[in-house]
Amino acid sequence: MTVHETILEMGRKAVIASRALARLTNEQKSKALRAMADGIHARREGIKSANAIDMEEGKKKGLSGALLDRLLLTDSRIDAMVKGVREVADLHDPVGQILEEKARPNGLHIKKVRVPIGVIAVVYEARPNVTADAASLCIKSGNAIILRGGSESIRSNEAIADALQFGGERHGLPDSALQLVRVTDREAVRELAQLEGIVDLIIPRGGEGLIRAVADVARVPVIKHYKGVCHVFVDESADVEMAVAISENAKCQRPGVCNAMETLLVHSAVAGRFLPAAASVLQRKGVELRGDDAARAIVPSMKRATEEDWFAEYLDLILAVRVVPDVRAAIDHINMYGSHHSDSIVTASVENGEKFVEEVDSAAVYVNASTRFTDGAAFGLGAEMGISTDKLHARGPMGIDELTTYKYVIHGSGQIRE
């Protein structure tokens, strides 16, 4: 079969499976998910063996240390996968939830009810744990899923998908509810993204290059975030000690993730007290600071920032620093240079905090807290499919509720429209 024929056949099977999934009760889905978790546990040695081959091939191909680390599956990471699937099994079932209910004067009874999206395709790189994470979230929310991982993790993904299917299909998981694209040809991604009328949604998980590649060719809806240019603004009334701690956490706790701070904005009235203290802590952690003229006048060891630095997602121990005259300037900077991901104000002013929250156009806006909390688990969602910076359908961390849509259900007693 050609790549087109293979993907089309998978899509058609997924549509049939999605209808069967939509009929399952919460108990039935949870039972299948627990069996899927057991399948991973039972086949861990086979998964590790497959991963060892991927790791060896990756080293031969010269994959970076960071990519190899994402690819590696240890016993603890497999344990985490098993735990994650079991936790999803225990989540609430969003399907059937009544979002709104009303009675009309003509006697019609109208309900707005959560329903599965249908068929979801997930395209991802390097991290084989996404195979289990994405599959479990889609099954719990009643969606059939087509997974397409990177070629560097194909054997690992196959082993995990086989283990999930082995467990789930013996305990009520509909046939083809979970499918893995086993061809590594990049044309498969294009075919998935253009499967109108079959794939209802495609979610790329990975770097900006992958996300743009999918979005550029897609004919089906895409949920995405290109990058995370996140800010912390230290207002003039900020507690300096709190501001230093939040800045250190937002930049240093895990610098290579999308919710890490990339630009630090500081009110001119507090810059003289805050910046020396913050720079001392950040530079001890190995952070390279790139400041504007006002910031460099206070901390001369900073490198000079360029216009490109305000747009940069470093994903590294590098931080752009700018001194601004007021909260208005901070908001304008964030809305101009930011990526609408996660931004924070540190302030003792209720008025400035409310102004920041109302006017910063981002998926997650914080007052006196680190941007690093933008995450499904930290938000109490149990798990997440990813983080969306789009404004339509889902925004911010995507849990099982965001993997549903809704329909209107109307009950009447013979009403006709005149």
Residue type, 359: E
- Tens digit of each residue's pLDDT (9 = 90 or more) over 302-316: 999 999 999 999 999
Give CATH superfamily name and number for 230-373: Aldehyde Dehydrogenase; Chain A, domain 2 (3.40.309.10)
> What does the pLDDT read at residue 167?
96
> What does the pLDDT read at residue 377?
83
User: Taking the CB of residue 306, how many other CB atoms lie within 10 A of it?
Assistant: 12
Spans of all domains in the chain: 3-224+393-411, 230-373
- Those residues whose C-beta lies under 8 Å from the C-beta of residue 318, and which sit 6 or more positions away, are 287, 288, 290, 312
* Residue ranges for the chain with pLDDT beneath 50: none
pTM of the model: 0.90
> What does the pLDDT read at residue 380?
85
Residue type, 178: L
> What does the pLDDT read at residue 415?
97
- Tens digit of each residue's pLDDT (9 = 90 or more) over 355-378: 999 999 999 999 999 999 999 889
> What does the pLDDT read at residue 256?
87
> What does the pLDDT read at residue 226?
78
> What does the pLDDT read at residue 215?
94
In this structure, whether the domain defined by 3-224+393-411 belongs to CATH 3.40.50.10490 is answered with: no
> What does the pLDDT read at residue 298?
98
> What does the pLDDT read at residue 412?
98
> What does the pLDDT read at residue 126?
82
